[in-house]
Structures are given as structure tokens and as C-alpha cells.
């Protein structure tokens, strides 16, 4: 089996650490691993397959001899360094929003549109975490009866913001439970015992950038600009795993039982849908898992062809790191590297 020189950019962050863990778990054919981050992480030591690897500062010359570069360091770093990596022969799989809507860059979820991978010109984009889990759930339904409209409300964990947000939630909980006023820096208000209908910046229409990502990215992934989509994205005091309430209108009738059968056979999906036995997807059960969990599947009786779904997935894994590794696996399996 061919092995590859792999670089992880943003190796000390939550997603970068998860990428490294998944590469090891899935025994991806790594020849050499290069861990890159900002200058302040230079010299930090991380273990991979029992070997201690020293983190280096990410600079253009870092990518000499690299076959695959997994980026998880944010838009600014990706804009600066991804083209430099491509110049030096690397294929970049980028987790930021730097290139997602670039017409020259495929936006890929392997369970949904793997055929787009081969269209790349050096860079492949990972979708937003909330988009990824939703399109995995919608793909089998869209293939069967075509989806006309999507209304999604998200309940997103603080790990989607990063390790500082996770720590802030934990500290706020301690302060509140000890009778103290919580301090906040990461979010505009305390997140502990709270819900914030605010993820990313708002535009002049009142929609947030996170909401618009879900609209535009979903259309691009399905290659269907006619799909009507609206989103409300919300931050909740959960450490890990995003949840979504999704209402869809289809062109043809699909009963709840039919939807369960279709979804239960689809790749990357686990149906957990026995509400009478209190069985439905929970963030606490999905954390650390690779599947997209779907439950509360029921018909929307206010529409002729409506369905409701409850979707939960680990945003650090399937929402980010795992999806990137799956893209690399697909390229390896199909001799695209």
C-alpha cells in the first residue's frame, strides 16, 4: 500500500488533535507526519502512534515533500498557506470557510458527493460542521423523492468554537453553582445555563454568517440552486456534538416508515428512533462516534409532503476532522493522490 507524507496545520487545536487521533484510529497510510501550528506552539510535543512529534511553525517551506495537507487553523491561515502548499505539490483538504464557495474548489462530503473530489485543482474544502451532518441525513431522501425546501434550527455545542469556549463553559458553571456571577470573554453573554441565537456575525438582513453557510453550502454540495433553505443557528451549553431540528418538504410523498427504511440503509447514518421507548439521538451518546444519528422521524401534517428529523453528530469528528480524513481515504483508494 502506498504511504503518504501528511501535514496537519493547526495541530494543537481541537480539530487538529482530532484529525491526528482519527488518522491513527483508521490506520491511514502515513509515511511521515508533520505537525504544524502558529509560532507560539513551536516546540510543543504531541504523540502519534507511540512516537513523540515536535510541532513546528507553519511556513510556506514546511510543505516541501508533503502529499496531503489537512488544514484546521482558520480562514486567515488557509488563505495564506494553502496556495503555498499546493505550489509545492501537496493536496490541501481545508476545514475553514476560506474556499468553500470558490467555484474552482470542490466542497465535499464523501457520503454525499464523492464524485466532486476528482474536480479539485489542489484544494478540497470541508463544509461547515452543521452543514455536513445535515447533508448526510438529507442525501438518501433527496435521491429518493427530491427535497424542495429545508427549514433547519441548530443546537450547537461550544466545542465548535474551540477549546477556550469549552473551558469558559466549565468555569461559568462552577461560578454559577457557587453563587458567583459568571465571567464571559468568548461569547457576548455567558453560555452556561443559557442559549445564544448568535453564531458568527450578522449581515444587514439579520441572518448570521453561520446560517448563510448552511444555505449556500448545502446548495453547492447538492448542486441544486433551486432548493429553498432557511436556517436559525443557536449556541447551547453542551460541550460536544451539534443537534439539529430539520423540517423538509419533498416533491413526492415519503412516509415516516419509508424514510426510516431509506435512512437505515444509508452510509454513515445510524437511525435511533423509538420515542415510545425514549430512544432518540442525544449529544451525550454521539460524542466520540463517527455516525450521523437520526431520530424523531415523523410526518409534518401541516404539509402535503413534509417530514421532521432530529439529527445529532460529533462536530469535531464527522463535522470536521473525520470528513477531512474520509476525503483523503477516498483519494488514496481511487489513486487520486
Q: How far is 179 from 202, CA to CA, in rounded Å? A: 33
Sequence-distant (≥ 6) Cβ neighbours of residue 40 within 8 angstroms? none
Give the active site residue among 116, 120, 142, 242.
242
**CATH 3.40.190.10 fits domain 4-127+320-333:** no
Is residue 42 very low, low, confident or very high in pLDDT (cuts 50, 70, 90)? confident
- As a whole number, mean pLDDT of residues 268-293 equals 98
pLDDT of 43 above 90: no
Give the active site residue among 129, 184, 198, 241.
129
Every domain of the chain and the residues it spans: 4-127+320-333, 131-315
Q: CA Rg, the chain, in Å?
A: 20
Cell numbers at 252, concatenated: 413526492
pLDDT 10s digits, 163-172: 999 999 999 9
Instruction: Judge whether 129 counts as a catalytic residue.
Output: yes
Half-sphere exposure of 97 (CA within 13 A, CB side): 13
pTM for this predicted structure: 0.96
Is residue 1 very low, low, confident or very high in pLDDT (cuts 50, 70, 90)? confident
User: What class is the 131-315 domain?
Assistant: alpha beta
Residue 150 is predicted with a pLDDT of 98
Element (H, E) at 286: helix 283-286
Average pLDDT over the chain reads: 97
152: region left, alpha or beta (phi > 0 left; psi from -120 to 50 alpha)? beta
pLDDT 10s digits, 201-256: 999 999 999 999 999 999 999 999 999 999 999 999 999 999 999 999 999 999 99
Residue 227 is predicted with a pLDDT of 97
Q: Do domains 4-127+320-333 and 131-315 have the same CATH topology?
A: no
Amino acid at each position: 500500500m502506498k504511504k503518504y507524507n501528511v501535514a496537519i496545520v493547526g495541530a494543537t487545536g481541537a480539530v487538529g488533535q482530532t484529525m491526528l487521533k482519527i488518522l491513527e484510529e483508521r490506520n491511514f497510510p502515513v509515511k511521515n507526519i508533520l505537525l504544524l501550528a502558529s509560532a507560539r506552539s513551536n516546540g510543543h510535543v504531541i504523540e502519534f502512534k507511540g512516537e513523540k512529534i515536535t510541532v513546528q511553525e507553519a511556513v510556506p517551506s514546511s510543505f516541501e515533500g508533503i502529499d496531503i495537507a489537512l488544514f484546521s487553523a482558520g480562514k486567515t491561515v488557509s488563505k495564506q498557506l494553502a496556495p503555498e502548499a499546493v505550489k509545492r505539490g501537496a493536496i490541501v483538504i481545508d476545514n475553514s470557510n476560506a474556499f468553500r464557495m470558490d467555484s474552482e474548489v470542490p466542497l465535499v462530503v464523501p457520503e454525499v458527493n464523492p464524485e466532486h473530489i476528482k474536480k479539485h485543482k489542489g484544494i478540497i474544502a470541508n463544509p461547515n460542521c452543521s452543514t455536513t451532518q445535515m447533508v448526510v441525513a438529507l442525501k438518501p431522501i433527496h435521491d429518493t423523492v427530491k427535497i424542495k425546501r429545508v427549514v433547519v434550527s441548530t443546537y450547537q455545542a461550544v466545542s465548535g468554537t474551540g477549546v477556550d469556549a469549552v473551558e469558559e463553559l466549565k468555569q461559568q458553571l462552577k461560578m454559577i453553582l457557587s453563587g458567583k456571577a459568571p465571567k464571559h470573554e468568548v461569547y457576548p453573554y455567558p453560555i452556561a445555563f443559557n442559549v445564544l441565537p448568535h453564531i458568527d456575525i450578522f449581515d444587514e438582513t439579520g441572518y448570521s454568517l453561520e446560517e448563510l453557510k448552511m444555505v449556500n453550502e448545502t446548495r453547492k454540495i447538492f448542486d441544486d440552486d433551486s432548493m429553498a433553505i432557511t436556517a436559525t443557528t443557536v449556541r447551547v451549553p453542551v460541550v460536544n456534538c451539534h443537534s439539529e431540528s430539520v423540517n423538509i418538504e419533498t416533491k413526492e410523498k415519503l412516509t415516516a416508515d419509508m424514510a426510516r427504511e431509506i435512512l437505515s440503509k444509508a452510509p454513515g447514518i445510524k437511525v435511533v428512533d423509538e420515542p415510545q421507548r425514549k430512544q432518540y439521538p442525544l449529544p451525550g451518546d454521539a460524542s466520540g462516534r463517527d455516525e450521523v444519528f437520526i431520530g424523531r422521524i415523523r410526518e409534518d401534517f401541516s404539509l402535503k409532503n413534509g417530514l421532521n428529523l432530529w439529527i445529532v453528530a460529533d462536530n469535531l469528528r464527522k463535522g470536521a476532522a473525520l470528513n477531512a480524513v474520509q476525503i483523503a481515504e477516498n483519494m488514496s483508494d481511487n489513486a487520486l493522490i
